[in-house]
Structure 1
Amino acid sequence: MITIKIDPVTKRKAQAVAKKMGLSLSVLVKGYLAQVIRTKTAVFTDEIPNKYMIKALEESRKDVKEGFVSPSFKTAKEAIEWLKKPRKKYVNGLWR
């Protein structure tokens, strides 16, 4: 048995998340602790992107809009050729 101190707001929010997943808060915590033991890592993620990620996403959207995207490749050689010229424009997978 573990007893932890946590503020009521955080507890209510965590219980709501667990409930949406069909779990109790106790099962959610047990599962997380089992994962920590199994992987020997503790993963904490933030769903809200930071400024760097927002900038990267904006650049990515701009590249897609302007046609600077990778087509699918049939061979590794084709992929390597594209990697040497990553700013080539593509229209329907054809080099331009």
Structure 2
Amino acid sequence: MSASEVAAAASAASAALSVDAENNLALPALAPACERYFRRAEQCFSQNENRDALLAMLDEAREELAHEQPDEAACTDLNRSFDAVARNLGCH
């Protein structure tokens, strides 16, 4: 899997209370399925040699989603879409 594919997967997504470092404001909580996705992606990315870049992209995605407030179904779809990324990175 190329770095651009990983980046696209990470930015397609991005706990319960995150901090917007730029504005130092608390962001709204995400749906439980989104929280599960972020925990899963964080565990997977933490094992990768590109972990710092992947985790930074994941943090950006988390902030974006906190502002967008996707529903549970959208977050479930996001988590499912991560299956291929996890397989390619070797962390099912």
With normalisation by structure 2, the TM-score equals 0.25
Structure having the higher helix fraction is: 2
With normalisation by structure 1, the TM-score equals 0.24
The structure having more radius of gyration, on CA atoms, is 1
Q: RCO (CA 8 Å, sep 6+): is it higher in 1 or 2?
A: 2
